[in-house]
Amino acid sequence: MFGLPGELLRIARKDWPELSPEAVRRLRIIDWHLANGKNVSKTCRHFTIGRQTFYRWLRRYNPKDLRSLEDRSSRPKHCKQATWTKEEILAVRVLREHYPAWGKLKLVVLLARQGLQVSASRVGRILAYLKRTRQLIEPLRRFSARRRQWKRQYATRKPRSYESRFPGDIVQLDTMDVRPEPDIVLKQFTAVDVVSRWSVPTIASAATANLATKALKAIIERSPFPIRAIQVDGGSEFMAGFEDACREKGILLFELPPRSPKLNGRVERANRTYRDEFYNCSNATPTVAGFQGHLRRWEHTYNHLRPHQALGFLTPAEFLHQRFNISPHTGVSPTS
């Protein structure tokens, strides 16, 4: 190169380091800062970064060594060294290989029987060290505790394109434990329409597919609109005969993904209402026959008398009449 000043020649001959994209970004921010008045507040607002972060980059910045803007190791300067002995490592390894399912608390007791007084936390660190260095041979798990996933014959996941716009498009169905006394456990099948909040409860002695089918029949008979789809969880009571009944009646059956009760939020909230406002206040005999008549009267209260905040403090019956011109029958009178 000829005809250039000496300073440019020295810069051209200099071996510039290869920087990471993050270091290049920091260099551009600092260059902008130096070229625009060196105002830290202005720079931080312009690039949307924290002041403390920018000050840290600025303190580390060395114009003669651009690698100073690279990320640094966050490893502590002084690390705690292991204090266990080879005897303890060998004893823990032998015991763990002999009893592979036992944890550190049980191993502490066995070590004490051998005359080694070791804390549980130290045994845990030794086990982690043995696994990390692959000195511990763990047995293979031959049996899985995961339950067998039964293949649904009719139920499917609800398609994303399926929307609930009218009463009966989706009715959420769930079971609830009813424990009126410590040694008595009954089941309630609760159905709630997603749009109108119309609810049909059914008390039963157990949660079986046969009783769920009878509950389905009651839902169809006591709903003032046709049922087009029912949404349930993965409970066994909603399989077998219940699926066959839905197929025969032409009702779509949607199954929720595992561990997702929030997707059945309408019926979960209704279960709480039944528990707090009916069962906790009922003086009925704690049997299926004893609760049945009282529950039918409360169903009338829920659908025709109780204001629902989600419906603008209308009852489900008033909401159906005003919004969809559906006049539900009064059903069981509250005084009958």
Q: Return per-residue pLDDT of the chain as tens, 336 residues.
A: 455 555 545 555 555 678 889 999 999 999 999 999 899 999 999 999 999 999 999 999 998 888 888 888 888 888 888 888 999 999 999 999 988 888 899 999 999 999 999 999 999 999 999 999 989 877 776 655 555 566 778 889 999 899 999 999 999 999 999 998 888 899 999 999 999 999 999 999 999 999 999 999 999 999 999 999 999 998 888 988 999 999 999 999 999 988 888 888 999 999 999 999 899 888 889 899 999 999 999 999 999 989 998 899 899 999 999 999 988 875 444 443
Closest CA to 54 of 65, 36, 39: 39
Pairing of the two strands 229-232 and 252-255:
parallel
Phi then psi for residue 308, to 5 deg, are: -110, 125
Pick the CATH number of 171-324 from 3.30.470.10, 3.30.70.420, 3.30.420.10, 3.40.47.10: 3.30.420.10
Its pTM stands at 0.57
**What integer pLDDT is reported at residue 334 of this predicted model?**
42
**What integer pLDDT is reported at residue 261 of this predicted model?**
82
Phi then psi for residue 306, to 5 deg, are: -80, 120
**What integer pLDDT is reported at residue 5 of this predicted model?**
59
